[in-house]
């Protein structure tokens, strides 16, 4: 979305579950929509009912949605669930406004925040893979007709040409990203040659990873109170209290139901996490739903093959919590580190603990200056 649009948010209980947390899902969807520049003017929740595959809602709820859209003159309706191409087309035609799903919204935000060449290529690839099955056409409108030599026959439909062009573009993008992946591998081999340890900051989007990196280094990564404000990974040297060093990378923020197109497109970037000696799981302790967000991060790490990677939990933003809350969590998570990236409290304890995890039983080089 390039300009502010009035949006109605929709969350459907597809499993008809009594445990459906509609408010949590819609609150997060609202933050995503706000990040993309939308103005929220309405919400609709399908708690239980006879959900139709046509509308992803019950007939009664869909009629209610039509009324909301009509009364508010909404520009766009955003579903928290992923829509099939057919559902998206049918719902849009009946509501007479633009309809997108959570995946399209996240792709739009990623496109806003991709600044490096690799990040832009990755986002474009994810968008094209999302778009390809959603192309539609009349099927009979021909791009070329003719009665002369070499032009006889029905020719190709405009839809077929569009699909062919997108598939060609996807192949080109994959080749470019493969080349960048090779360059990343060369850099990794160089770091391994000098025994330089690698550590990744991983966490839910907006948990404070970039603030941690900025506080420990002079990275100057952009920090905003928005989802996915930092997309392109940044790696900097971090020194322990005894002068030892490791490389710390700020990675893309994770989120519930992260689109599979993005996981596939960002494979080379996420491989940085897989290559890490230790993963620092950053958790916003001031978030009332932090446990749920922790679980989402753990699930996402499992999807990229990092479930068993050596890790440490770093509870951030303790400056926003009372002592009783921190004391209770210390007893529940005795191995966790409690920090405030904003004021620097606990950061060097975290760095020393991480380096201790790296060096345990491992011979490390002191010749880091060669890198």
Q: Are residues 298 and 160 in the same domain?
A: no
Question: Whole domain around residue 30: which residue ranges?
Answer: 6-108
Question: Is there a domain that residue 241 lies in?
Answer: yes
Question: Is there a domain that residue 181 lies in?
Answer: no
Q: Are residues 120 and 212 in the same domain?
A: no
Reduced to 3 states, what is the DSSP secondary structure of residue 345? strand
Q: Are residues 282 and 225 in the same domain?
A: yes
Question: Is there a domain that residue 190 lies in?
Answer: no
Q: Are residues 101 and 120 in the same domain?
A: no
pLDDT of residue 308: 87
Q: Which residue has the tokens 């951030």?
A: 316
Q: Are residues 118 and 104 in the same domain?
A: no
pLDDT of residue 113: 80
Q: Please, what is the Cα angle at 184 between 182 and 189, to 5 degrees?
A: 95
* DSSP class per residue in 261-308: HHHHHTHHHHHHHHT-SEEEEEEETT-TTHHHHHHHHHHHHHHTT-TT
Q: Are residues 168 and 204 in the same domain?
A: no
Q: Are residues 132 and 149 in the same domain?
A: yes
Question: Is there a domain that residue 43 lies in?
Answer: yes
Instruction: Put the strands of the sheet holding 39-46 in their side by side order.
Output: 39-46, 6-12, 76-79, 98-101
Question: Is there a domain that residue 286 lies in?
Answer: yes
Q: pLDDT digit of tens for each residue in the chain (371 aa)?
A: 456 899 999 998 776 666 667 788 888 899 999 988 999 999 999 887 788 889 989 999 999 999 999 999 999 999 999 899 999 999 999 999 999 999 999 888 888 888 788 888 888 998 999 888 888 754 444 344 444 444 444 555 677 888 889 999 999 999 998 898 888 778 777 777 777 889 999 999 889 998 999 999 876 765 666 677 666 678 899 999 888 899 998 887 888 887 777 777 677 667 778 888 999 999 999 998 999 999 989 988 888 888 888 999 999 999 999 999 999 999 999 999 999 999 999 999 999 999 999 988 554 444 333 33
Give bridge partners of residue 247 from the DSSP assignment: 198, 237
Question: Is there a domain that residue 336 lies in?
Answer: yes
Q: Are residues 129 and 271 in the same domain?
A: no
Q: Judging by beta carbons within 10 Å of its beta carbon (0-12, 13-18, 19+), is residue 22 exposed, middle or buried?
A: middle
- Total structural domains within the chain: 3
* DSSP class per residue in 352-371: HHHHHHHHTT----S-GGG-
pLDDT of residue 231: 65
pLDDT of residue 159: 77
Q: Looking at 67, 93, 108, which one is the last position of a domain? A: 108
Q: Are residues 72 and 162 in the same domain?
A: no
């Amino acid at each position: 979305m390039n300009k502010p649009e009035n949006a109605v948010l929709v969350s459907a209980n597809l499993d008809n579950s009594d445990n459906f947390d509609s408010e949590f899902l819609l609150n997060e969807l609202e933050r995503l929509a706000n990040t993309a520049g939308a103005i929220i003017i309405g919400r609709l929740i399908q708690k239980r009912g006879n959900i139709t595959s046509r509308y992803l809602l019950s007939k009664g709820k869909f009629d209610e949605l039509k009324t909301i859209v009509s009364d508010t003159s909404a520009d766009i309706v955003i579903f928290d669930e992923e829509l099939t191409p057919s559902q998206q087309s049918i719902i849009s035609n009946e509501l007479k406004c633009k309809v997108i799903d959570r995946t399209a919204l996240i792709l739009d935000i990623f496109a806003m925040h991709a600044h490096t060449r690799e990040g832009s290529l990755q986002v474009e690839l994810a968008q094209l893979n999302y778009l390809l099955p959603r192309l539609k056409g009349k099927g009979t409108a021909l791009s070329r007709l003719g009665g002369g030599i070499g032009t006889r026959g029905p020719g190709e439909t405009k839809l077929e040409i569009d699909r062919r062009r997108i598939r060609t573009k996807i192949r080109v993008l994959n080749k470019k990203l493969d080349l960048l992946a090779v360059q990343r591998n060369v850099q990794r081999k160089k770091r391994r040659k000098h025994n330089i340890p690698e550590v990744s900051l991983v966490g839910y989007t907006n948990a404070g990873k970039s603030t941690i990196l900025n506080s420990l280094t002079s990275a100057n990564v952009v920090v905003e109170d928005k989802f996915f404000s930092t997309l392109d990974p940044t790696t900097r040297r971090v020194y322990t209290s005894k002068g030892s060093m490791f490389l710390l990378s700020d990675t893309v923020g994770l989120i519930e139901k992260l689109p599979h197109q993005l996981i596939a497109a960002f494979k080379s970037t996420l491989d940085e996490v897989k290559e890490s000696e230790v993963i620092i799981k950053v958790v916003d302790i001031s978030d009332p739903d932090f446990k749920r967000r922790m679980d989402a991060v753990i699930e996402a790490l499992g999807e990229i093959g990092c479930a068993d990677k050596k890790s440490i939990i770093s509870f951030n933003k303790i400056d926003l919590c009372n002592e009783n809350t921190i004391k209770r969590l210390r007893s529940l998570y005795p191995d966790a580190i409690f920090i405030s990236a904003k004021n620097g409290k606990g950061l060097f304890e975290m760095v020393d603990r991480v380096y201790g995890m790296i060096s345990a039983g491992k011979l490390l080089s002191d010749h880091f200056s060669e890198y």
